[in-house]
Amino acid sequence: MHRKFWIGALALAFLIALGWGWNEYRVAGEYRLLAENNNRRAINDFASHLDQLETDMAKGNVANNPAQKILYLSQVSSNSDAALKDFAQIPAQQTGLSYVGQFLTQSGDFARTLAQRIAGGGTISAEEEKTLRDMHERLMPVNQKVQELIVRMDTEQLVWTDPDPTIRERLGLGTQVAEAAADGSEAPSKSVRSGLDQLDASLQKLPPFSYSGEYATRVVAKPLGLPKGNVTRDQSLERARNFLNKVGYSNANPEFGGESQGELGGYIWKFKEAYLEVSRQGGVITLYRDQRGMEPRTLSIEEASVKAKGVLKSLGWQLVITSSEEFGSYVQFDAVVEKDGVRIYPDKVRLMIALDNGQLIGLDSVPYYAFHHSRTFPAKISMDQAVRKLRSGFQVLESRLAVIVKAGNREVYCYEFRGRYQGEEYLVYLNAATGAEEKIQRIIKTPQGEYLK
């Protein structure tokens, strides 16, 4: 009797475990399918906006009438912003400051700067016209390669990540795509990710643009916030291990992935699906991206925010989170320095928190290390004096002091007013010393977060 009971109990337990396992497998499969669909939607939207961006830039070069010039340059700026949002959701090796992302940012910023000048009655110089043509010439092959990736996705069922290397490649008898791309050959990529990485690498070889705009020197000639002194490759390895341990990978043994150039460049390290970069000067982590497989979501945006604050604290950052944006499987947060009640927006760190376990999967601290320095704030008018300079009917919801960036990386000490006007919310920045209106941003609210336009 006891024997039959135990056999029955074990059989029931087995069936329950089998059912639970099958359900978990089904849920994971649905989540993988959702992630795949999101990735495909993101890259298709990216390709569409990039194609329109290239067309508008071409029309802008041809247009001679100021009204037409403003129209097409404004559309270049708008499509650049849209392409950047799509690009942020595509699984690629780096996050934040990649050369593709930097190129899109600079193109949109430059077009916006020119459109604003023409709208104010100004003109475009011959040198700026040449820069605009150079940007278009650089954009054309970028657009072409992205459109080719889309075609290969549809016709060749191109996978998202590279397949595992063959035994021949492990023995060093085969040439991999990344190596071929580095040599300048046109070997076809094996995956969407490696195709984007090849595109990124090709842009690295080109000289930077020189122009006057908000992001003209996104990578500054001399970073202001990097710690003193250089680190060796071995020292950077220890920094990488320490960082990986703090974000959840104990006993990590990263592999060397090469070196990046420039004043903010350094040593590249890879561990499993994670990629990080340690600066040569100062030995700090400037870029990090973990492209591990994502499990079903378990956290809310509010819970992810708590996790983000914990991550910042564990990494030694004393910053204030200013914005969040959900991208399905993760939430992207922006955090900035706040000193003596003044928010310093140029000194920014961007981080991404996974919604399955709250782990950090992305970090871009390049803006912080590029622009962070000690500042002396000038004399200011009072808050009451500043409020009186706002438009009549503007309802102030929040107010604070802030440092913002305008064209040419020019920092402006401002009063920041978040308020409502005719049913919509805006951020209005008034010069703290003179009360002059410096900048207005419209707040667009969506289920994924708040956007500024």
pLDDT, tens only, 101-130 = 777 777 887 888 888 778 777 788 888 888
The pLDDT tens digits for 387-396 are: 999 988 999 9
Which two tokens mark 62? Answer: 């041809």
Q: Is the pLDDT of residue 179 over 60?
A: no
- Identify the band that residue 204 occupies on the pLDDT scale cut at 50, 70 and 90: low
Sign of the C-alpha dihedral computed for residues 445, 364, 289 and 206 taken in this order: positive
* Residues 49-59, mean pLDDT to the nearest whole number: 85
pLDDT at 158: 67
Q: Which of 19-33, 162-176, 191-205, 306-320 has the highest mean pLDDT?
A: 306-320
Which of residues 390 and 179 earns the better pLDDT score? 390
pLDDT confidence of residue 414? 93
Distance CA 349, CA 313 (A): 13
Helices then strands, counting H and E runs in the chain, come out as: 11, 13
Strand-pairing partners, residue 287, are: 277, 364
**The one-letter amino acid at 70:** I
Of 59-63, 373-377, 429-433, 446-450, the range with the lowest mean pLDDT is 446-450
Q: What is the pLDDT of residue 202?
A: 65
List Cβ neighbours of 8 (8 Å cut-off, separation of 6 or more).
none
End-to-end Cα distance, the chain: 74
- Report the 3 state secondary structure along 135-198: HHHHHHHHHHHHHHHHHHHHHCCCECCCCCCCHHHHCCCCCCHHHHHHCCCCCCCCEHHHHHHH
| DSSP secondary structure letter of residue 427 | E
Residue 106 neighbours by CB distance under 10 Å: 22
Which residues 6+ apart lie within 8 Å of 257 measured at CB?
268, 269, 270, 275
Distance of CA 220 to the CA centre of its chain: 18
Q: How much of the chain, in percent, has pLDDT values that exceed 70?
A: 74
Give the number of other Cβ atoms within 10 Å of residue 382's Cβ. 10
Supply the pLDDT for residue 217.
Answer: 41
What is the model's pLDDT at position 26?
Answer: 58
Distance CA 157, CA 320 (A): 43
% of the chain residues with pLDDT over 90: 24
Mean pLDDT of 197-221: 56
Give the torsion through C-alpha atoms of 35, 38, 39, 42, to 10 deg: -160
The token pair at 307 is: 């996790």
* Number of Cα atoms under 13 Å in the Cβ half of residue 447: 2
Split at pLDDT 50, 70, 90, the class of 400 is: very high
The C-alpha torsion from 403 through 445 and 294 to 149, rounded to 10°, is -90
What the block records as the tokens of 321 is 């989170």
- DSSP class of residue 5 equals H
- Higher model confidence: residue 199 or residue 140? 140
Cα(348)–Cα(366) distance, integer angstroms = 8
> Rounded mean pLDDT of the chain?
78
Provide the 8-state DSSP code for 281: B
In this structure, what token pair is assigned to residue 412? 């402006």
Report pLDDT for 211.
47
pLDDT at position 396 is 93
Indicate the burial class of 208 (C-beta count within 10 angstroms; 0-12, 13-18, 19 or more).
middle
pLDDT exceeds cutoff 70 at 150: yes
Token code pair at residue 293: 């497989």
Q: Give the residue from 36, 270, 29, 30 showing the smallest Cα distance to 160.
A: 36
Instruction: With a cut of 80, say whether residue 406 has pLDDT above it.
Output: no
Name the residue among 324, 223, 362, 331 with its Cα closest to residue 279.
223
Q: Are β-strands 255-259 and 274-279 bridged in parallel, bridged antiparallel, or unpaired?
A: unpaired
d(CA 287, CA 305) in angstroms, rounded, equals: 20
Q: How many CB atoms lie within 10 A of CB 185?
A: 11
Domains of the chain (ranges, CATH numbers): 30-204 (no CATH), 233-371 (3.30.310), 383-452 (3.10.450)
Judged by average pLDDT, the poorest of 121-135, 157-171, 340-354 is: 157-171
Residue 121, classed as helix, strand or coil, is: coil
* Residue 384 binned pLDDT confidence (cut-offs 50, 70, 90): very high
DSSP 364-397: E-HHHHHH-----PPP---HHHHHTTSPTT-EEE
Helix (H, G, I), strand (E, B) or coil at 436: coil
pLDDT at 181: 37
The residue among 63, 150, 64, 142 whose CA lies nearest residue 107 is 142
